[in-house]
Structure 1
Amino acid sequence: MSTGLADNVRKYRRTAGLNQEGLAEAAGLSLSTVRKAEQGGHVSMDTMAALAGALGVTTSALFASEAPRSVVGLQDEVNRRNLAELRRALMPPLGLSAPLSEPGEAEAPSVIRQGVQDGHALYQADRYDAVAKRLPPLLLGSEAAVSALEGEEKRHAMIAQAHALLLTGKYLTQVRQYDMAYYALAEAIRLARETGKTQLAATGVVGLCWLLLRQDRFDESEQLAARTAAEVEPRMSEAKPAQLAVWGELWLRVAAAACRNNRPDVAKHARRMAATAGGALDREHTRFPSHWGSFGPVTAEAKAVEDLALTGDARGVLRRADEGPLSSRATTNVGRLSSNNWGRHRLDVAHAHLLVGSHQDAMDELVHLRDTADVWLTHQPMARRVMQGILRTRKRTLTKDMRSMAAHLGIAG
């Protein structure tokens, strides 16, 4: 945590008339954690939310603007090299006239849209390297088509380009390349609006709100999602599944931002709205880019359980993790979560097991996720937090699985 954040915690604690012991008790944290926060040490977002709740302020109020810390290690340089081709296709240098970019071969809009569907299937299958290789020709081909065509054909090419940009933004957000992802999503929203595709633009907004959440921009994510949900609210008796899905996804973003920002009443209302949208669907629906991801009654419940995880209610997470809409019987009838949402849900379960001291159960969850989504798992800070917690608190000798998982996640034993 930065010194600015530490100063804010200290300032709000004194304003509330609390000493460090009182803040620790009110937040349900140890005294050493509060001291660490006020000394500028790194604390998790969960801890920040707990401190904000005890102080009666939003989590965002504790943040401060400071110079970033130095990047340690080679990962930033490796990512820069690995994404060089995609960066050239997405963000070519701009001069006084035309962009300085490689001329792409114009593709028919139908070919671009099919390429996006194929790329999204690879994304869902956790094949991120294959997605990264497919995106540059999709972007260049769609840009060339927009430049070459006119009239209604140009409009269809612009829509296809928006599809390609949405997939690019989705992939880049997942691998935490946020500035590039923002550019892709903003361009996709712009193209969708220019071509009159409100539903497509709303899909882009769902993705942008996810990116803002990833950047801890909770106020902006909540406000953008709520405003867009109001603008696209469907007539329930006439709404198509994709309309219900994107509206429900927007309410999920409102809830996620509000919960993280210590606004529980807003989060509760948003979860009810998302549940309404999920309940109006007969099953889980996945139709990118008509909406962002899989959505339905199972997704709405999984995200409600995520709120319990964010507030530290480990037993609540474990109680609801495999019941109701999340039970195996229900998912057989109405469909499963998307692979990414399922993974995030099981990481919440793993963390809950860790909090109640069930190390082997936490490991079982991590091992299953590595078996089914090994690349995805390496991009999840929560997976590293769980593994670090096991390493820190386990008193017996580590098992072979534990040593292997620590290596897989890049954690020193």
Structure 2
Amino acid sequence: MRRVASLGVFPLLGAALVAGLGCARPIKTGDPLPGLTKQQRELFEQGRKVMEKQFTPETGLGPLFNAPGCSECHEDPVTGGRGDESEVHVALLRPDGFCDPLAERGGPVIQQHVTPALHAALGIESEPVPPEATTRASRTSPDIFGLGLLDTVPDSKILARADPEDRNHDGISGRPNRFTDGRLGRFGRKALVPTLREFIEGAFVAEQGITNPAVPTEESVGGSPLPPGVDPVPDPEIDQKTVDAADAFVRFLAPPAPLELTHLAKRGRVLFSRVGCAACHVPILKTGKSPVKALCHKKVAAYTDLLLHDMGPDLADICLGLAAPSEFRTEPLMGLHLMPRFLHDGRADTLEKAILLHGGEATASRARFQALDDIHKKALIKFLESL
């Protein structure tokens, strides 16, 4: 894994944020990207309404679902932010190493709620966990800020940072995940989904049970077909215009502006690189070509490389695609100051606890953090709290 973030990178972060967002005024959390056309801003606002809509069984909800609306899980501090909900994901890791997401048995996402009609038909309160599952995982609801920028980072830029064999012997061996058709994945905690559009289309079905033109089939109940009469709305339950609006909202949602750095946080910014955090949490990514000017050739302070890394046995849960149980995509840190809990399952209530739970490829960086004196630890934490 290339250590591309040297100490010299950090003085450029402020400029990168301005260049990346093209803004002359402070970005408020929940704002669209600066530089959008009037038509794009209007579509963004239409998408906000889709995100905030509460669906019912009569408008397509369920019969299996996790929430009746997108903003139920992406709401804090604004629509598009994090949520308090946790999901259950499952998988089967076979002895030969093959990862089965148990899609034919209702996996990998297990819906926690059912409509009254499905409850009356089957007497269940939630989707049953497939008995074949060897592992299950808890997933918090992350924010979705800045995802349009991450979607526009070229595959070549992501792959250029991969070093699965650790040929440079720095202990960092990031590697890509691949979708079933071989395309590079980048979205989700295990980086399986290749594009933002597919991520959104899949979420409508997996989270709300709402079919759409790209995913027109309802989830099964543990692999069994839905009973007759429990799904009153014909498929697809939303049209392409609705999907396009939701896509525009997520795609054009700007990253939150970082907080102003205190003197202590500025010291922590230097330590972030010295400790080794920047080897995976790469401070700046650059987008490629895009028909949307606001997304085209922008620098974004994302603090991720969008690659999989072994995080050690303490954090391991399910496999997904090529990702082993202990492998996770480097979590973007933009908007970190808005988060009350950390890691993929929210188990850490402080940033220091989150750092200390890093293992695997991050073991050496964790040790360097532990070796810092209290004031330097505090400085690094203050920097993270500013992101």
TM bin, normalised by shorter chain, reads under 0.3
TM-score by length of structure 2 reads 0.24
- Where relative contact order (Cα < 8 A, 6+ residues apart) is larger, the structure is 2
* Higher strand residue share: 2
* Higher helix residue share: 1
The structure with the larger Rg is 1
